[in-house]
Amino acid sequence: MKWFKLLTILVFSLTFFNAKAQDNGAGHKIVFQLTDNNIKSQKSLTRQLNNLNQGWPEAEFQVVVHSVGIGYLIEDKSAFSDEIRNLSEMGVVFVACENTLSAKNISKDKVIDVAKYVKMGIAEVVRKQEQGWSYIKAGL
């Protein structure tokens, strides 16, 4: 009887450990909202995206950038252009708000080339949440 209990505990332990070890993020969908022009916030977001992408390579990530955070995606203003390109190659989607670009008189040719566009950044965040995406407000 002792052997049976020990074997049962061992099987459950190995099953639990194996399930944890195989979590590659499949099925997870996360939308980040960046509205902050603080370099520390942008650095933190970039680091978090790298960490998540390494830990959950099968998860989906989208970063919606609007308001004063738009500088994160402006080629000659962003301190993270290379990192954004690398993350994009790994599947992270970066989205710029067209309303913000228009309000700030920024043409699309100034935006980093890997970015996609939506008319309204806030509406994109709302749509993603309605579709079941987890929401994270980027910033400190």
Q: How many CB atoms lie within 10 A of CB 96?
A: 25
**What local confidence, expressed as pLDDT, does residue 29 receive?**
98
Q: How far is residue 122's CA from residue 62's CA, in Å, rounded to a whole number?
A: 13
- pLDDT for 58 equals 96
Kindly state the DSSP code that residue 111 receives in the 8-state scheme: B
Tally of structural domains, the chain: 1
Q: Are 96 and 68 in contact (CB under 8 A)?
A: no
| pLDDT value for 7 | 45
How far apart CA 22 and CA 87 sit, in angstroms, is: 22
Q: Which domain holds residue 123?
A: 24-137
Query: What is the rounded distance in angstroms from the CA atom of residue 125 to the CA atom of residue 109?
Result: 24
Position 120 scores a pLDDT of 99
Residue 44, in any domain of the structure? yes
For residue 10, being part of any structural domain is answered with: no
pLDDT in tens, the chain (140 residues): 565 454 455 455 555 554 555 689 999 999 999 999 999 999 999 999 999 999 999 999 999 999 999 999 999 999 999 999 999 999 999 999 999 999 999 999 999 999 999 999 999 999 999 999 999 999 87
In the block, residue with structure tokens 């301190």: 79
CATH number of the domain residue 112 falls in: 3.40.1260.10
